[in-house]
């Protein structure tokens, strides 16, 4: 799917929300492209759920404007915004059958019994709930209840879906399964989805766009690739996955490369996309899987290499994670192609790929 950022179905402009003396959302602006899967990602208390509820109309902004389909919706109640919100708890009616839960909104809308049955049957088919329409929520698994909640939200035919940590009540394996189903469904229907989570894996695997929030502020907006490999600051780099930080100084610009010096030596980094100058202090960010590791018994280091010693390791099945002490700094290194002899130990070399070392400009 090709997304046009100028085709925003939801536009949030300089929105602020106070709860007493606490500023939960601080002058936030965000465009949600039509048909996208946009995730609000951040730690607990960062303001992501508050922003979601502002979009849905459950909270009113103390400043700024929210537009849905080019219409300003400040002051418009939730039921007139056509932005169904699926909560973490699903909020199913326990005394109603699955059919009654899904059809609840259709009945309020005054549709005929024939129309209601057709629409509910379509949802039952879409979410693989056939044969369960006469059961009650308590008779379903967590994953099935989640599907019912989604079916109830989508049966009204809205073009926007809001999801507030809908998978958090599922076990780890089922979460992976359901998030794949949810993403496939969103892409098939082309429905604009705004998703709230604190889970980095969920955000990276499902999203077209991620907005990383911290203390009521959006720290970075970008694709999963940009957020992970090109973080704008230390907070984003550290929150979205594991990262090694290196305090460094720009030594020189050599053609298409940037030479940065640090306590362990020098690193040659691809120049593309950076506007740094010699003498500038920076922080380098490198992911554990972007560092190579090999045995080294002679203590010799080469270009973009460091000599060190393994302090500990952890076998995680699909990889081995090493903690390697190099002079005064310890690096985390992930080896996804471990030796057939098992974990390495003792003296090793670690190597940096200049294409995979990111410079955090403005931080040094």
| 263 and 129 within one domain | no
The domain boundary residue, chosen from 200, 221, 239:
239
Closest CA to 88 of 5, 130, 149: 149
The beta strands (E) that lie in 224-319 are given as 244-254, 257-262, 265-270, 281-286, 291-295, 305-315
Is pLDDT of 340 > 80? no
Together in a domain, 47 and 184: yes
Give the confidence band of 1 by pLDDT, cuts at 50, 70, 90.
Answer: very low
Q: pLDDT above 70 covers what percent of the chain? A: 95
The whole-angstrom separation of Cα 167 and Cα 3 is 25
Question: Is 222 a member of any domain?
Answer: yes
Domain co-membership, 54 together with 163: yes
Q: How far is 29 from 11, CA to CA, in rounded Å? A: 8
242 vs 237: CA distance, rounded Å: 8
The residue among 239, 257, 286 that closes a domain is 239
Are residues 85 and 119 both part of a single domain?
Answer: yes
Lowest mean pLDDT among 88-92, 150-154, 187-191: 88-92
Q: Does position 261 have pLDDT exceeding 80, yes or no?
A: yes
Q: Which domain holds residue 235?
A: 8-239
CA angle at 23 for the pair 18 and 26, rounded to the nearest 5°: 105
Domain match, 224 and 304 both: no
Question: By the 8 A CB rule, do 305 and 349 touch?
Answer: yes
On whether both 67 and 173 belong to a single domain, the answer is yes
- pTM of the predicted model over 0.85: yes
Query: What pLDDT was estimated at residue 5?
Result: 53
**CA separation (Å) from 322 to 9, 304, 338?**
45, 19, 11
Residues 234 and 248 both lie in one domain: no
* pLDDT of 267 strictly over 60: yes
Average pLDDT over residues 248-277: 88
294 and 275 within one domain: yes
3, part of any domain = no
End residue of a domain, out of 239, 267, 290 = 239
Does residue 302 carry a pLDDT above 80?
no
Which of 3-17, 63-77, 101-115, 118-132 has the lowest average pLDDT?
Answer: 3-17
Query: In terms of domains, do 143 and 267 share one?
Result: no
To the nearest whole number, what is the mean pLDDT of the chain? 89
My answer on whether 331 and 189 are in the same domain is no
Does residue 2 lie within any of the structural domains? no
Mean pLDDT of 119-144: 89
**CA angle at 108 for the pair 37 and 136, rounded to the nearest 5°:** 75
What confidence score (pLDDT) does residue 213 get? 97
Whether 206 and 298 share a structural domain: no
| CATH assignment of the domain containing 282 | 2.40.50.100
Which CATH number do you get for residue 89? 3.40.50.300
Q: Work out whether strand 281-286 and strand 358-360 pair parallel, antiparallel, or are unpaired.
A: antiparallel
Instruction: Please count the structural domains in the chain.
Output: 2
- Measure the CA–CA gap between 286 and 42, rounded to whole angstroms: 21
Residue 21 located in a structural domain: yes
Residue 71 pLDDT more than 90? yes
Q: Is residue 28 located within the same domain as residue 48?
A: yes
Contacts 24+ apart (CB under 8 A), 139-144: 140/98, 142/169, 142/170, 142/171, 142/174, 143/170, 143/174, 143/177, 143/178
pLDDT in tens, 173-198: 878 888 888 898 889 888 999 999 99
**Strands across the sheet with 22-33, in order?**
22-33, 8-19, 63-68, 71-72
Query: β-strand 244-254 against 281-286: which pairing, if any?
Result: antiparallel
């Amino acid at each position: 799917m090709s997304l046009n950022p100028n085709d925003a179905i939801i536009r949030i402009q300089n929105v602020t929300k106070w709860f007493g003396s606490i500023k939960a959302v601080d002058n936030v602006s965000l465009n949600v492209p039509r048909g996208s899967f946009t995730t609000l990602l951040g730690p607990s208390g960062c303001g992501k759920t508050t922003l979601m509820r502002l979009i849905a109309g459950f909270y009113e902004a103390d400043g700024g404007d929210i537009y849905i389909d080019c219409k300003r919706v400040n002051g418009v109640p939730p039921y007139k915004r056509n932005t169904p919100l699926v909560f973490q708890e699903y909020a199913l009616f326990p005394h109603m059958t699955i059919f009654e839960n899904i059809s609840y909104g259709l009945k309020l809308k005054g549709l005929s019994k024939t129309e209601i049955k057709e629409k509910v049957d379509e949802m039952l088919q879409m979410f693989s709930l056939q044969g369960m329409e006469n059961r009650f929520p308590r008779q379903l698994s967590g994953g099935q209840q989640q599907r019912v909640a989604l079916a109830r939200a989508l049966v009204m035919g809205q073009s926007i879906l809001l999801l507030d940590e809908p998978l958090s009540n599922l076990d780890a394996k089922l979460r992976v399964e359901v998030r794949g189903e949810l993403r496939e469904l969103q892409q098939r229907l082309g429905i604009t989805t705004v998703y709230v989570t604190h889970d980095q894996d969920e955000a990276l695997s499902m999203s077209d766009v991620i907005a990383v929030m911290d203390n009521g502020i959006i720290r970075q907006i970008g694709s999963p690739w940009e957020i992970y490999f090109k973080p704008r600051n230390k907070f984003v780099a550290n929150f979205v996955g594991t990262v090694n930080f290196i305090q460094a100084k720009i030594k020189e610009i050599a053609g298409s490369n940037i030479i940065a010096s640090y306590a362990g030596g020098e690193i040659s980094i691809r120049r593309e996309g950076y506007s740094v100058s010699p003498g500038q202090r920076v922080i380098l960010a490198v992911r554990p899987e972007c560092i190579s590791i090999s045995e080294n018994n002679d203590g010799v280091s080469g270009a973009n290499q460091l000599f060190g010693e393994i302090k500990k390791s952890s076998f995680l099945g699909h990889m081995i994670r090493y903690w390697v002490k190099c002079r005064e700094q310890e690096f985390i290194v992930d080896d996804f192609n471990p030796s057939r002899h098992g974990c390495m130990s003792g003296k090793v070399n670690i190597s940096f790929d200049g294409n995979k070392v990111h410079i955090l400009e403005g931080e040094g």
